[in-house]
A and B are shown apart, each in its own frame.
Chain A
C-alpha cells in the first residue's frame, strides 16, 4: 500500500456537495484532493442524443451501482390506498402483489455525481420548512436559517448560471436570478392555464440551465433530454461548472475511479487517513488535515459505519448512534394522460413550469403536515419519443397501432408532484448483515416506511395532479406512478443530521462533526428536513460554500 503526500483537504465524492466544496476551497488556495469512485464523462461522446437510437438508453451508467445497497423488507400495502398505486393502461399494475416493491436509489457514480443525470431544478428551501420541530412538532429544525443561507444561494446561482422568474413564491431574494427566465413550452403553457382555471398559480421554474451563453457554455436549445446527460454543457452539472474551475485554480486534483473503502482514525477522534482502491485497483492511503465526506445520503453513512475498528466498534462519528437514522426519501407522484390536441410535448425543458401553492409545511388542507409542489412532468417521465409512445402510450399492435402512433405523437401531457418526507423511526440506513460488495464490504441497507401522514400527502398530490389534467380537458389517463407502492428515490436526505445537540445530530451548523473535528459532511445527509418537494442540489451547494468558508478560516487561523 502506498501513502500519498498530505493534502489540506481530502474530499470523498464529486457530486453537488463534493464539487462545490472543491471549487470553494481550491479557489482560496487550499490544496484539495477529490477522490471519486466513478469515471469521467465526456458530454459529447457519452450522451448520444444525436443518434436515432437515443431513446433506447437512459443515462449511460458506466458502473453497476445496484451492488452498493440492498433493501430490508418493505411494508404491506393497504387496500384502502389502492387508488394510489402505480399503473399503466397497457401493462397494468406495476406491483401486482401487496408488498411495496424495492425499486431504486437513483444516482450516478461519476465525476460530477448525480448532477450529471439531474434535471437542473434549482430551488431555495421554503424558509418555514426549516423549522419543522419548533413550528409543527415533527422532524428537526435546521441550525441555520434562510437568511444565513441567502448569500450562498446567490453565489451558487451566479456561478452555475441559474435562470428564474423575477418573483418566486415565498423566497425573499436580495438580487434577481442571474439568467433570464426560460419560456414555458407550448404544452406547459396549456397545463399552466388549466391549473390557473382551477385556482392554482403556475410559474416558470428556476433551473440551473443557461438561457443565455455564459463563458464557454452556450444557451439551452430545449431538446428536453437533461436526464440523459446534456451534450451541450448548458445544464449546470458539477462537471461543467465547479470542478473545471477548481482544477483551473491549480490547487485541486481529481482522481476518478478511486473507491474509498475506509477512514482510518486515531484514538483522539481524529481521521488520520483515507484508504482507497486506485484507478488500477491497487490499495492506497492518503492523508489530509481535513476530510470531507460527500458520497450522498446513502453512501456517506455506509462509509462511516464501515470504518469501524476494535476501538471504534460502531463506526467513525457514530457515538450518538445517529449515523444512518432519520433517512428521508422521495415522496413522488405523477399522472399522465392524452390530450386531444397535438401539443408537441416532446419539446422544451423538463420541469419548466411549477406550482408552489402547497409548498409551505402547513399548506395542504386537512391537517396534513409537510408541503408539496407540482411541476410539468411529461419529459421527466420520458414521454419523449416514439419508443416510449409505442410501448407505453399507444395500445395494441398491427396496422392500427401504426396509425395511432402517427396520430398520438406529441399528445401526452404529464404532471408530477414531490412532497415533504419526514423522518420515521423505521426509515433508516444500516449495514446489510449478509450481503457484501465485490470488495467484501457490507452493502448499505435501505429501510423505508411510509406512515399515514405521508400517504395522505401523497393522496393530495394525486388529487391535485388529476384535477389539473381534467381541467386541461384530458379525458383518459394512461399512466400513474407513485412511490406508495414502489420505493424510488432521486432525492435522499437526513442520515447524518445537522443540529446543535450532539446527542440528536451528527454534525454542527458548519457541517463539522460534533466530536471529530477534522471530519465534515457536505451532502444531503445533513438535511434535518427535506422541504416541501424542493430539489436539493442548490441547498447542498450553498451549504458546501458556507462550510468551505469555515474550513478555510480554520486552516488559516
Chain B
C-alpha cells in the first residue's frame, strides 16, 4: 500500500486506540509491525466491502478498522481466526496477481473477496469474509453520517406517528 498521508493518519488513529496514545515511533518494532500489517489488510478488506461511494464514507473514513482491531485485542477467538486466515489473502493475491492484498487495485481486491465469499462455510477464507462483513456492516450502518445518507434515524424520540400511511 502506498504510504499516503491518509494511511499514516489512519494508523495514528488506530494506535491511539490500541495503546492509549503511544507515539508512531513505537510502530517500528517487529511485533508492532506485524499488527500494523494486520491493520493494513483489515483496512483494505473493509474498504472493499464498504468503499466511499456517491458521498457516503468508506469504512476507514469512519474508523471501522480501529473498531475491528479493538475486537481483535479483546476477543481471543476472533483474533485467532484473523491471524490464521489473514495469510490466505496475500497467498491468493500473489497467486492471482503477483502482489500482496493491500497493493491490489479495487477490482482485484473484489476478486479476492469474491473467492472468500464462495469458499466452504467452515473454511478460514469464508470465516474471514463473513465475520469482517458482519462486524464492519454493523458498525458502519449505525454511524450517524451513514444513517443520514440513508435517510434513516433512531426510532425515538419521534417514533413513527405516520406508520399507517404509505412511506413518503
Contacts and interface: CB of A to CB of B under 8 A. Distances in A.
Nearest to A348: B163
B167 A53 contact: no
Interface stretch (A133-141, A161-169, A179-187): A179-187
Contacts of B146: 386
A223 B141 contact: no
A220 to B, nearest CB: 7
B49 A397 contact: yes
A344 B167 contact: yes
Interface in B99-157: 110, 113, 117, 121, 130, 133-134, 137-144, 146-147, 150, 152, 154-157
A91 B130 contact: yes
A414 to B, nearest CB: 16
B164 A348 contact: yes
A55 B160 contact: no
A361 interface: no
Nearest to B147: A52
B63 interface: no
A56 to B, nearest CB: 5
Contacts of A50: 154, 156-157
Interface stretch (A293-301, A398-406, A505-513): A398-406
A418 interface: no
A185 B154 contact: no
Q: Is the interface of B mostly helix, strand, loop or mixed?
A: loop
Interface residues of B, number: 40
A223 B156 contact: yes
Contacts of B147: 52, 386
Given A343-B167, A390-B141, A398-B110, A348 B150 contact: no
A397 B132 CA distance: 11
B123 to A, nearest CB: 13
B163 A231 contact: no
Contact of B142 (A56, A384, A397, A399): A56
B110 A347 contact: no
Q: Is the interface of A mostly helix, strand, loop or mixed?
A: loop
Contacts of A347: 160, 162-163, 167
A348 B159 CA distance: 8
Contact of B152 (A49, A385, A397): A385
A232 B163 CA distance: 17
A225 B160 CA distance: 11
B165 A186 contact: yes
Contact of A185 (B50, B113, B163): B163
Contacts of B138: 56, 387, 390-391
Nearest to A387: B141
B159 to A, nearest CB: 3
B28 interface: no
10 contacts: A52-B143, A52-B147, A52-B154, A56-B139, A184-B164, A186-B163, A186-B165, A221-B156, A221-B161, A347-B160
